[in-house]
Amino acid sequence: MSKIPEKKSVSGETKYSQQVGEKAARKLKAQHHVTQTVWSGLGMMGLVGWSVAVPTLLGAALGLWLDKHYPGSHSWTLMLLAVGLGLGCFNAWHWVTKEDREMHEHEGDNHE
């Protein structure tokens, strides 16, 4: 069985080894992107969680203080807890929308 030797490029690599090298480079780049995406996703979940939790807890704490010092027929705690939750959700929505927009702009720059 006689093998036909592959032609070598100027750099001394065969066409097959060039293809393998290119494929390995693509896999490494994709793996880096996935790892980066996973960590940024986990970070985003933490940020979203805190951006909702902190205003909610601050509203509840302020409401408890107001209920203790200025009692009335309405619960300040419940009202400020709901306001804090609403502000936190709005803040999280705003942050996620901003990050999504930046991510899509960045992807557009890479594909051109």
pLDDT digits (tens, 9 = 90+) for 71-80: 888 999 999 9
Query: Is the predicted pLDDT of residue 94 greater than 80, yes or no?
Result: yes
Token duo for residue 69: 């010092």
Residue labelled with tokens 């009202």: 79
pTM of the predicted structure, to 2 decimals: 0.57
Q: Which pLDDT does position 36 carry in this prediction? A: 59
Helix (H) or strand (E) holding 34: helix 15-69
**21, pLDDT greater than 70:** yes
| Assigned token pair, 57 | 């807890």
Residue 32's pLDDT is what?
A: 57
Tokens linked to 89: 């959700």
Q: Which phi and psi (to 5°) does residue 73 adopt? A: -80, -20
